């Protein structure tokens, strides 16, 4: 089932993400002059920033092809807003689509899934499942890359 | 009148499948549950999709064997058998009934088609997701599958948080060669998600532990996650097995980094 095309796509996704993430990490490290590295709050803030950088670099690696990546980019990156020329401005969409009756039949689980997947609140069930599939794939690669990074850094 | 009741009852089973107000109003007194609604619905759907009112006359004939199968209504089956012959002759009498059915078919034709297409799409996506989420091959059913998906996404996000914390606390080594790490990284992280699943229970428990007493766990991050250092071993093992098969896949990627000749001796 996994054809060459699929592995090539996932590999390029992984490479792009790895590059961006590592450069973001280095950038953050250079910026952080390490006074508060041992305080709890300092580490917590640093953790939050790293987490956001991870999601952002993943979304940037994916680009604007996917609805969830667009949602992440519009939520976090100001650079991305200037770049993204796609017709979707999620702010406007949110205003018009906030009052949306969820389609019946799936109940609480679809609601939870919408909360988990970024940008899932304004999606119908069909596209929600599709976005979830892609999001899971990218999350898995993200976790793998971060894991090996942490391993390499802590050796 | 008895005949008419039977006809109504034989068609009654289809009510449960589609909410048509007209159909419900037609039913007067109705005690027995003649046929399983699904069977009737199937027959009905087929007829709806295949033809319009011209096929309606065949419907009672088709329903005849279905009603006969029902143990509870044997004599009714015989009655419908009689009706089957009378159907064509008594068309005028039953005209309004068939008319309702046809109208129902026509009215919900696009609806049923669209719904069926939608359901097909959703089930196809669910199958895709089933392949993505590990350990879900035996699960059939949307509800359980959705639960598994939600759990998996939550666990992945927890892992991201835990790893970002780990990356935040690690000391930066000044001499890291980015290219080398990336190449090792890309080759190493091609393992399957089994390694990640093994990591999850450790991560969730230690994560909760970290939130509570952070100072105490700073030195013990490595000790509370005993599975964690084991993972690269499994990763490498899996990697070695899979490397020869997918080596030609990774070659174009690794060539970009210019370290094609390096990774093998490293491993």
Cβ pairs bridging A and B (under 8 Å)? 151
Per DSSP, the three-state class of A63 is coil
Q: Do B167 and A43 touch (CB under 8 A)?
A: no
Q: Are the CB atoms for A22 and B264 separated by under 8 Å? A: no
Q: Do B121 and A147 touch (CB under 8 A)?
A: no
Q: Which residues of A touch B147 (CB under 8 A)?
A: 109
Mean per-residue pLDDT, B65-83? 43
* Helix (H) or strand (E) segment spanning residue A151: helix A125-154
In this complex, which of B147, B164, B235 lies closest to A50 when CB atoms are compared?
B164
* Helix (H) or strand (E) segment spanning residue A6: helix A4-31
Give me the residues of B, 177-236, that contact A with CB < 8 A.
Answer: 178, 181-182, 184-186, 188-191, 193, 196, 199, 214-215, 222, 231-232, 235
**Which tens digits make up the pLDDT trace of B221-258?**
444 433 334 344 444 444 444 444 444 444 444 444 44
d(CA A128, CA B23): 35
Query: How far does A155 lie from chain B, in Å, by closest CA?
Result: 10
For position A98, what pLDDT does the model report? 52
pLDDT range class, residue B195, cuts 50, 70, 90: very low
Q: Are the CB atoms for B249 and A4 separated by under 8 Å? A: yes
**Residue whose tokens read 């089930």:** B123
For position B222, what pLDDT does the model report? 40
Q: Are the CB atoms for A53 and A142 separated by under 8 Å? A: no
For position B159, what pLDDT does the model report? 92
For position B188, what pLDDT does the model report? 55
Q: Are the CB atoms for A86 and A67 separated by under 8 Å? A: no
**Which tens digits make up the pLDDT trace of B88-129?**
444 445 455 444 444 455 456 788 888 888 888 988 888 888
Query: How far does A104 lie from chain B, in Å, by closest CA?
Result: 13
For position A79, what pLDDT does the model report? 58
Mutate to test the interface with A, among B127, B168, B223, B248 (most CBs of A within 10 A): B168
Mean per-residue pLDDT, A19-40? 76
Mutate to test the interface with B, among A2, A23, A114, A140 (most CBs of B within 10 A): A140
Residue B116 Cα distances to A49, A66, B92, B112, B121, angstroms: 45, 26, 34, 6, 9
Per DSSP, the three-state class of A5 is helix
In this complex, which of A4, A50, A126 lies closest to B168 when CB atoms are compared?
A50
Query: Is the Cβ of B159 closer than 8 Å to some Cβ of chain A?
Result: yes
In this complex, which of B129, B184, B196 lies closest to A152 when CB atoms are compared?
B184
Query: How far does B153 lie from chain A, in Å, by closest CA?
Result: 7
Q: Do A153 and B142 touch (CB under 8 A)?
A: no
d(CA B81, CA B79): 5
Query: How far does B139 lie from chain A, in Å, by closest CA?
Result: 16
**Residue B165 or residue B265, greater confidence:** B165
For position B136, what pLDDT does the model report? 84
pLDDT range class, residue B152, cuts 50, 70, 90: very high
* DSSP secondary structure code for residue A122 in this structure: G
For position A37, what pLDDT does the model report? 65
For residue A129, pLDDT beyond 80: yes
Q: Which residues of A touch B190 (CB under 8 A)?
A: 144
* DSSP secondary structure code for residue A89 in this structure: -
Closest CA to B64 of B113, B9, B111, B23: B9
Closest CA to B254 of A14, A3, A147, A149: A14
Q: For every residue of chain B, which 3-state class applies, written as one string?
A: CHHHHHHHHHHHHHHHHCCCHHHHHHCCCCCCCCCCHHHHHHHHHHHHHHCCHHHCCHHHHHHHHHHHHCHHHHHHHHHHHHHHHHHHHCCCCCHHHHHHHHHHHHHCHHHHHHHHHHHHHHHHHHHHHHHHCCCCCCCCCHHHHHHHHHHHHHHHHHHHHHHHHHHHHCCCCCCCCHHHHHHHHHHHCCCCCHHHHHHHHHHHHHHHHHHHCHHHHCCCHHHHCCHHHHHHHHHHHHHHHHHHHHHHHHHHHHHHHCCCCCHHHHC
The answer for residues whose C-beta is within 8 angstroms of residue B256's C-beta and 6 or more apart is A15
**Residue B242 or residue A26, greater confidence:** A26
Mean per-residue pLDDT, B188-216? 44
**Residue B49 or residue B162, greater confidence:** B162
In this complex, which of A48, A137, A150 lies closest to B163 when CB atoms are compared?
A150
For residue B209, pLDDT beyond 50: no
Residue A5 Cα distances to A133, A139, B109, B253, angstroms: 17, 19, 40, 13
Mean per-residue pLDDT, B60-73? 42
pLDDT range class, residue A86, cuts 50, 70, 90: low
d(CA B160, CA B201): 14
Highest mean pLDDT among A64-68, A121-125, B136-140: A64-68
For position B22, what pLDDT does the model report? 45
Mean per-residue pLDDT, A58-75? 87
For position B55, what pLDDT does the model report? 43
Give me the residues of B, 94-113, that contact A with CB < 8 A.
Answer: none
Domain ranges of chain A: 11-31+42-79+103-153
Mean per-residue pLDDT, B3-31? 45
For residue B154, pLDDT beyond 90: yes
Closest CA to A47 of B198, B199, B204, B210: B210
Nearest CA in chain A to B161: A51
Q: What is the ipTM of this complex?
A: 0.79
* Helix (H) or strand (E) segment spanning residue A141: helix A125-154
d(CA A85, CA A141): 27
For residue A23, pLDDT beyond 50: yes
Mean per-residue pLDDT, A34-61? 82
Q: Do B181 and A22 touch (CB under 8 A)?
A: yes
pLDDT range class, residue A135, cuts 50, 70, 90: very high
Nearest CA in chain A to B154: A116
For position A74, what pLDDT does the model report? 87
Average pLDDT across chain A, whole number: 76
Highest mean pLDDT among A76-85, A94-103, B100-109, B247-256: A76-85
pLDDT range class, residue A136, cuts 50, 70, 90: very high
Q: Which residues of A touch B146 (CB under 8 A)?
A: 106, 109-110, 113
């Amino acid at each position: 089932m996994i054809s060459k095309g699929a592995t090539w796509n996932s590999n390029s996704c992984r490479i792009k993400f790895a590059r961006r993430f590592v450069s973001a990490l280095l950038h953050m490290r250079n910026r952080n002059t390490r006074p508060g590295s041992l305080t709890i709050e300092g580490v917590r803030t640093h953790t939050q920033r790293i987490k956001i950088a991870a999601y952002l670099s993943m979304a940037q690696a994916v680009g604007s092809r996917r609805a969830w990546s667009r949602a992440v980019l519009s939520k976090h990156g100001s650079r991305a807003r200037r770049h993204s020329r796609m017709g979707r401005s999620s702010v406007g969409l949110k205003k018009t689509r906030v009052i949306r009756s969820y389609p019946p039949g799936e109940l609480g689980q679809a609601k939870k899934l919408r909360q988990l997947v970024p940008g899932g609140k304004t999606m119908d069930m069909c596209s929600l499942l599709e976005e979830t599939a892609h999001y899971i794939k990218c999350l898995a690669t993200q976790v793998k890359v971060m894991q090996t990074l942490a391993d390499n850094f802590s050796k | 009148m008895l005949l008419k009741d039977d006809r109504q009852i034989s068609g009654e089973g289809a009510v449960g499948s589609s909410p048509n107000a007209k159909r419900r109003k037609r039913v007067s007194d109705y005690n027995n549950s003649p046929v399983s609604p699904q069977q009737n619905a199937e027959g009905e759907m087929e007829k709806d999709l295949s033809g319009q009112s011209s096929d309606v006359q065949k419907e009672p004939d088709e329903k005849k064997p279905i009603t006969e199968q029902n143990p509870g209504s044997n004599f009714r089956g015989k009655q419908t058998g009689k009706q089957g012959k009378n159907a064509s002759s008594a068309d005028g009498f039953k005209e309004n009934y068939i008319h309702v059915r046809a109208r129902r078919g026509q009215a919900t034709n696009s609806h049923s088609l669209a719904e069926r297409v939608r359901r097909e799409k959703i089930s196809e996506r669910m199958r895709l997701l089933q392949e993505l989420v590990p350990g879900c091959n035996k699960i059939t059913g949307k509800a359980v599958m959705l639960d598994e998906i939600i759990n998996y996404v939550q666990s992945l996000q927890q892992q991201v948080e835990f790893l970002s914390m780990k990356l935040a606390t690690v000391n930066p080594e000044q001499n890291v060669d980015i290219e080398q790490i990336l190449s090792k990284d890309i080759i190493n992280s091609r393992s399957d998600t089994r390694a990640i699943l093994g990591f999850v229970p450790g991560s969730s428990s230690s994560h909760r532990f970290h939130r509570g007493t952070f100072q105490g766990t700073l030195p013990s991050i490595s000790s509370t996650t005993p599975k964690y250092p084991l993972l690269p071993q499994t990763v490498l093992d899996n990697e070695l097995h899979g490397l020869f098969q997918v080596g030609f896949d990774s070659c174009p990627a690794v060539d970009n980094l210019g370290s094609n000749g390096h990774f093998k001796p490293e491993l």
